[in-house]
A and B are shown apart, each in its own frame.
Chain A
Amino acid sequence: MTTTTALTDTTDDIAARIPPKSRQLWRTLVGISALLLFTIATTIPAIGGINIDLASIVHNWHNGYSKMLQMLQPNFDFLPRTWRPMVETLQMALVGAAASAVVSISLTLWAAKPTNPDGLTRSIVRTMINVIRAVPDLVYATVLVAMVGVGALPGVLTLFLFNIGIVVKLVSEAIDSADHSYMEAGRAAGGTQTQINRSTALAQTWPLFANQWLYTLELNVRISAILGIVGAGGIGRLLDERRAFYAYSDVSIIILEILVVVIAIELLSNFIRKRLV
């Protein structure tokens, strides 16, 4: 180690002593070719892949260009007609978030290990939540509109299901990963699991819940703005209607309004969050 060697004097002597490179090249190759094959398979229309057709975009460009021009001239006269649907959107968001908040508490405590040591009920709740989460929001809305009819009700139900999925999953995972020595004290004092949950776990996890509920409220405003596209009430319905009439200046004023409301709700939510924590 401390033998004196000249730095620049690198002869074959060093080359002979370099250990062989043990990196498994084939592994990298297999990984890359798997990725490539998958990507190629996604571009074969015959099996359902997508047809990468740049020509059609060029072809559509002229058509799209005039629509774009209309969109760049928002029709502010249309604004008064948007107030009511926008209020309905916000109502749906709030009611969906509030309803799911109430239901999420017990479901979450059932889905987390420290608050529910029983493996069977825990995995039932978790599987249910995972299934709920696997269905996209607008798919719920589409099916629910067909079931209970057009209006705010399918919208609220969609947001309710969507929020349950988010809150239960995120909060139960947070509870799982946190330290829970305080629960042991409750157990040592002879409390039942429900007593311990009510008196300690709930107090301890309350900030997590509050945070997620606010987050779902933010998400709901974004989602409820588009639920109307499939008939579930709110501003989205108006957006879809104006789009169907090719009234693109109305469409763009609606989009601008959604943008303003989304940002305003996010600012409000951040403000409340700071107060809470």
Chain B
Amino acid sequence: MHTENQSPQTVNVAGSASWQVELDHVSVTYPNGTRALSDVSLRIEPGEMVSIIGLSGSGKSTLIRTINGLVAATQGVVTVGPHQVNALSGRALRDVRGQIGMIFQGFNLAERTDVLHNVLVGRFAHLPLWRTLLDLPTKHDRNIALGALDSVGILETVWTRAGALSGGQKQRVAIARALSQEPSVMLADEPVASLDPPTSHAVMGDLRRINQQYGLTVLINLHLIDLAKQYTTRLIGLRDGRLVYDGPVQNATDKDFEEVYGRPIQARDLLGN
């Protein structure tokens, strides 16, 4: 078992350094005419732990997906590390995505496939196509996947079908999948919305540990105020696709949250304990 006195060099998962994320006057309009983001500009420094809050439909999911190009910005410039994401496509875009880890509200695992192969999905951008199609990962990639699983504490589930795991375990597999990408940025879209309170805290703890231990830039979509306050250092508030708050977590008052939500704070905006 590994101990706490690990040297910092080995701890940094990102082969490359952690990246900054910058949005410059970004707008997104979907083909059906819905305007999901309006003129959002922000800059996130490498190694920051940021939560994006807002009601559902406020544009949080769209914002986080413009960063790895799953949703294309219709206007403005999205820069992640050295790459201008909105200008990329095809192979180049997939390569950048390979450097950006992402986890989802619904875990998005292949339920009938075992845990190891779910985690190996994180190695796709680093492997030639024939290896992934024929299921012949290199020893190196396999070890990275196993190491990622071990780092979230569920190595023993490696041969279990993902569908047979509990919600908390599934989200850990998803985190391991993202970690095995050896990412420079980590995105999380409502990572705890499908989990019970104790598991939610565990998963948020994992994300904070990844941020602190590896110095990784982490962006988390949340709708729960107390989790945002407890685990992140900077808050970004979205309302109707517009940036309405941006500042350190400790400065945010209840009035700020009410401004973001457009209504008084309610019990369902808090996880509670």
**Does B146 interact with chain A (Cβ within 8 Å)?**
yes
C-beta contact mask, A7-27 vs B, less than 8 Å → 1, else 0?
111100111011101110000
Give every chain B residue within 8 A of A15 (Cβ-Cβ): 146
Q: B159: which of A5, A8, A23 is its contact (CB, 8 Å)? A: A23
Cβ-defined contact, A19 with B1, below 8 A: no
Q: A7: which of B148, B156, B202, B205 is its contact (CB, 8 Å)? A: B148
**Does A192 interact with chain B (Cβ within 8 Å)?**
no
Interface size class of B (residues with CB under 8 A): 20 to 34
Give every chain B residue within 8 A of A10 (Cβ-Cβ): 143-144, 146-147, 150
A3 to B182, CA, bound (A): 19
Q: A9: which of B147, B158, B159, B205 is its contact (CB, 8 Å)? A: B147
The smallest C-beta distance from A9 to any residue of chain B, in angstroms, reads: 5
**Does B265 interact with chain A (Cβ within 8 Å)?**
no
Give every chain B residue within 8 A of A23 (Cβ-Cβ): 159
- The stretch of B3-11, B17-25, B38-46, B62-70 that contacts the partner chain: B3-11
Give every chain A residue within 8 A of B146 (Cβ-Cβ): 10, 14-15, 18
- Give how many A residues have a beta carbon under 8 Å from the other chain's beta carbons: 19
Q: Which A residue's beta carbon lies closest to that of B214?
A: A7
Task: Pull 23 A–B residue pairs with CB atoms less than 8 Å apart, ordered by A.
Answer: A1-B153, A1-B202, A3-B2, A4-B2, A4-B4, A4-B209, A4-B213, A5-B1, A6-B13, A6-B147, A6-B151, A7-B13, A7-B148, A7-B179, A8-B13, A8-B147, A8-B182, A9-B147, A14-B150, A14-B155, A17-B150, A18-B155, A22-B159
Q: A4-B4, A7-B180, A17-B150 are in contact. List 19 more A-B contacts (CB 8 A).
A: A1-B152, A3-B3, A6-B151, A7-B147, A7-B148, A7-B151, A8-B144, A9-B2, A9-B147, A10-B143, A10-B144, A10-B150, A13-B2, A14-B146, A15-B146, A17-B156, A19-B155, A19-B156, A19-B159
* A contacts, CB < 8 Å to B: 1-10, 13-15, 17-19, 21-23
